[in-house]
Amino acid sequence: MSSHSRRAAIQSISQKQPLPPGGEPENLEDLFGRNVFGLQQMRARLPESAYRALESCIERGQELDPGLADLVASAMKEWAVERGATHFTHWFQPMTGLTAEKHDSFLDLENGKILLHFSGKQLIKGEPDASSFPSGGLRATFEARGYTAWDPTSPAFIRENASGATLCIPTAFCSWTGEALDKKTPLLRSCEALNRSAVRMLKLLGDEKVGFVYPTVGAEQEYFLIDREFYLLRPDLIATGRTLFGARPPKGQELEDHYFGSISPRILAFMHESENELWKLGVPVKTRHNEVAPSQFEIAPIFERTTLSTDHNMLTMEVLRQVAQRHGLHCLLHEKPFAGINGSGKHNNWSMATDTGINLLDPGQTPETNMRFVVFLTAVIRAIDTHADLLRVSIAHAANDHRLGANEAPPAIISIYLGDELNAVVEGLVAGGSGPNRDPNRKTMRLGVNTMPPLPRDATDRNRTSPFAFTGNKFEFRAVGSSQSISRPNIFLNTIVADSLDQLAAEIEKLEGSAGLEGAVQQVVQQTLAKHKRVIFNGNGYSAEWHAEAARRGLPNLRTAVDAIGAYTAPGKVEMFERHRVLSRKEAESRQHVMYEAYVKAIAIEAQSAAGIASSMLLPAATTYQRQLAESIEAARRSGAKSLARQERRLQETADRIEAALGALEALQAAFEKADHHEGGGFEHARQFRDGVIPAMNSLRDACDALELLVDDELWPLPKYREILFVH
Ligand code: ADP
Ligand code: MG
The CB of 217 under 6 Å from ligand 1? The reply is yes
Residue 140 confidence class, pLDDT cut points 50, 70, 90? low
Confirm or reject: Cβ of 705 under 6 Å from ligand 1. Answer: no
Per residue in 575-604, pLDDT (tens digit) is 999 999 999 999 999 999 999 999 999 999
User: DSSP string spanning 577-622?
Assistant: HHHTTS--HHHHHHHHHHHHHHHHHHHHHHHHHHHHHIIIIIHHHH
The residue-averaged pLDDT of 688-705 equals: 96
The pLDDT of residue 411 is 86
- In ligand 1, the atom with minimum distance to the C-alpha of 353 is 23
Taking the C-alpha atoms of residue 364 and residue 452, their distance in angstroms, rounded to an integer, is: 7
Which is higher by pLDDT, 120 or 658? Answer: 658
Q: What is the pLDDT of residue 647?
A: 86
Least confident range from 235-244, 628-637, 646-655: namely 628-637
**What atom of ligand 1 comes closest to residue 476's alpha carbon?**
12
3-state secondary structure of 400: helix
Tell me the CA–centroid distance for residue 286 and ligand 1, in Å. Answer: 11
> At 635, is the pLDDT very low, low, confident or very high (cuts 50, 70, 90)?
confident
Q: Is the pLDDT of residue 435 over 60?
A: no
User: How sure is the predictor about 497, in pLDDT bands with cuts at 50, 70 and 90?
Assistant: very high
Which residue is closest in CA terms to ligand 1's atom 8? 459
User: What pLDDT shows up at residue 141?
Assistant: 46
- pLDDT at site 172: 87
Instruction: Give the confidence band of 461 by pLDDT, cuts at 50, 70, 90.
Output: low
Rounded-to-integer distance, Cα 99 and Cα 22, Å: 27
pLDDT-derived band at 351 (thresholds 50, 70, 90) equals: very high
What is the amino acid identity at position 79?
A: W
pLDDT for residue 35 is more than 90: yes
Q: What is the Cα–Cα distance from 533 to 516, expressed in whole angstroms? A: 25
Select, from the ranges 94-103, 168-177, 288-297, 663-672, the one with the highest average predicted confidence (pLDDT): 663-672
Residue 220 CB–ligand 1 contact under 6 Å:
yes
The C-alpha R_g of the chain, in whole angstroms, comes to 28
Distance CA 391, CA 396 (A): 9
Q: What's the gap in Å between 300 CA and the centre of ligand 1?
A: 9
Question: What average pLDDT score do residues 174-183 get?
Answer: 84
Mutation to probe ligand 1, out of 221, 305, 349, 417 (largest number of atoms < 8 A from CB): 349
φ, ψ of residue 393 in degrees (nearest 5)? -60, -35
pLDDT at 139: 58
Give percent above pLDDT 70 in the chain. 92
Q: Give the range with max mean pLDDT: 148-157, 236-245, 451-460, 673-682.
A: 236-245
Model confidence at 142, pLDDT cuts 50, 70, 90, reads very low
Identify the pLDDT of residue 645: 81
| Residue 248 pLDDT > 70 | yes
Between the CA of 410 and the centroid of ligand 2 the distance, in Å, is 13
Taking alpha carbons only, the member of 312, 310, 313, 330 closest to residue 321 is: 330
Q: Give the residue, 369 or 556, on which the prediction is more confident.
A: 556
Indicate the average pLDDT of the chain: 89
Using a pLDDT cut of 90, give the percent of the chain over it.
65
Reported as a pLDDT band with limits 50, 70 and 90, residue 169 is: very high
Instruction: Identify the structural domains of the chain with CATH numbers, from first to last.
Output: 32-182 (3.10.20.70), 191-595 (3.30.590.10)
Asked whether residue 440 carries a pLDDT value surpassing 70, the answer given is no
Mutate to test the pocket of ligand 1, among 287, 303, 494 (most ligand atoms within 8 A of CB): 303
- The beta strands (E) that lie in 459-534 are given as 468-470, 475-477
Ligand 2 centroid distance, CA of 347 (Å): 6
What SS3 string covers 246-303? CCCCCCCCCCCCCCCCCCCHHHHHHHHHHHHHHHHCCCCEEEEEECCCCCEEEEEECC
Mean of pLDDT values over 124-152: 69
Atom from ligand 1 closest to the CA of residue 350:
25
Mean pLDDT over 390-416 rounds to 91
Pick the ligand that lies closest to the CA of residue 284: 1
Verify whether ligand 1 is closer than 6 Å to residue 382 (CB atom): no
Residue 100: the pLDDT is 86
Give pLDDT tens digits for 82-91: 999 999 998 9
Q: Does the beta carbon of 350 sit less than 6 angstroms from any atom of ligand 1?
A: yes
The DSSP bridge partners found for residue 37 are 156
Residue 35 CA to ligand 2 centre (angstroms): 29
Residue 549, pLDDT score: 94
* 362 CA closest ligand 1 atom index: 23
**Ligand 1 near 692 CB (within 6 A):** no
pLDDT of residue 433 exceeding 80, the answer is no
Nearest protein CA to atom 14 of ligand 1, as residue: 218
What mean pLDDT comes out for the span 553-559?
94
The pLDDT value recorded for residue 437 is 46
| pLDDT (average), residues 640-661 | 89
pLDDT at residue 455 above 80? no
* pLDDT band for position 519 (cuts 50, 70, 90): very high
Report the predicted TM-score, pTM, of the whole model to 2 decimal places: 0.94
Q: Please tell me the number of the ligand nearest to residue 287's CA.
A: 1
- Alpha carbon nearest to ligand 1 atom 17, residue: 218
- End-to-end Cα separation, the chain, in angstroms: 22
Looking at the predicted structure, is the pLDDT value of residue 143 above 80? no
Query: Rounded CA gap, 123 and 149, in Å?
Result: 8
Does the pLDDT at position 471 exceed 60? yes
Res 130: pLDDT:
59
Strand 416-417, strand 468-470: pairing:
parallel
pLDDT of residue 135: 73
**pLDDT over threshold 50, residue 250:** yes
Our answer on whether the CB atom of 150 is closer than 6 Å to any ligand 1 atom is no
**105-141 residues labelled b (16+ CB within 10 A) or e (exposed):** ebeeeeeeeeeeebebebbbbbebebeebbbbebbee
Q: Which has more confidence, 596 or 178?
A: 596
41, pLDDT greater than 80: yes
pLDDT in tens, 300-327: 999 999 999 999 999 999 999 999 999 9
Residue 512 has pLDDT above 80, yes or no: yes
